[in-house]
Amino acid sequence: MISSVLVAATAMGLVITTASYASASTSHGFMIHADGSTAGEVWFNSGLHAQHHGHPEHGFNSFTIKDLFCGDGWGIGVEWQLSDQKFSHRGTADCEPVEVNYETGQASTIIIQFNWRPFMWAVDGLHDPEYGDWQSDWMGSNSTEGDTDLFSRTTVYNDRLGDDNSSHTFTASMFPTVQARAIGAVATPSMWRDLQERTPFPPELTAGQRDSMYKQLWCHAEFGRVPAAGGPTWDIESARPNISWWDVVFKIRQHGCNW
């Protein structure tokens, strides 16, 4: 949804692109001049979402800030509220540079819902900042510690299934150790416990969603033990259907572990 009309441009400039939905984002917002031209765009990349969608350069829990109207005298930034604190970052100064990625560095061991909004600020300092609409997202969790020899890192974050903007999911990504790959599916109960102790799931998940994620983890541990087959991470998503154990075990060739 495009933000409301906010402020008139102080000078005509160059519109460098047409505003569009960012393919790697889990949430995003626009800044619009009073004449209808798009001043800039900001999107948030929760956790490892951007990496899984082909944009590893965006980093972990990052904002991507883009100036879409050069020469208007306005820069683009982002403001967010996390717990009881407020933060902000001025990403561009009238297309200097045009686009930046900013990692918040605020991951904890618990995934946290937070609010953020884009803003535009006058480079000459003669006008107050103007703000866009508030957006809601999740600051992905991250852990490289804990008493386990099964994972070197675990993380839970907001994600999308494919490129469908309406299909959001919670993803848990695990970096299995050599020992975890060697043990395989027999260690699923221990891996499931260690995952949730290190980086707990959101309380919103239903019993059916958790059951599906458990089955996905078992599937990865059983059939994706070799990195060439299962990749560097084992990823389980809450939005995937809770299929039967029979289907998990005996229809692997049809659906893989991401059914």
pLDDT above 90 covers a percentage of the chain that reads 75
Contact 110, 199 (CB under 8 A): yes
3-state secondary structure of 118: strand
pTM for the whole thing? 0.88
In the predicted model, is pLDDT for residue 229 greater than 90?
A: no
Q: What is the pLDDT of residues 130-178, one digit of tens each?
A: 999 999 999 999 999 878 999 999 999 999 887 666 688 999 999 999 9
The pLDDT, as a whole number, for residue 12 is 40
- Which pLDDT score, from 0 to 100, does residue 9 have? 32
Prior bond to 97 cis, omega within 30? Answer: yes
DSSP 230: H
Give residue 152's pLDDT.
96
Give the model confidence (pLDDT) of 180-203 as tens digits: 999 999 999 999 999 999 999 999
| Tokens (6 digits) for 190 | 């221990």
Domains in the chain (CATH in brackets) are: 5-138 (2.60.40), 151-255 (no CATH)
CB 73 within 8 A of CB 124: yes
Q: Tell me if 219 sits within 8 A of 230, measured CB to CB.
A: no
- Per the listing, tokens 């350069």 go with 57
Q: What are phi and psi of 35, to 5 degrees?
A: -85, 5
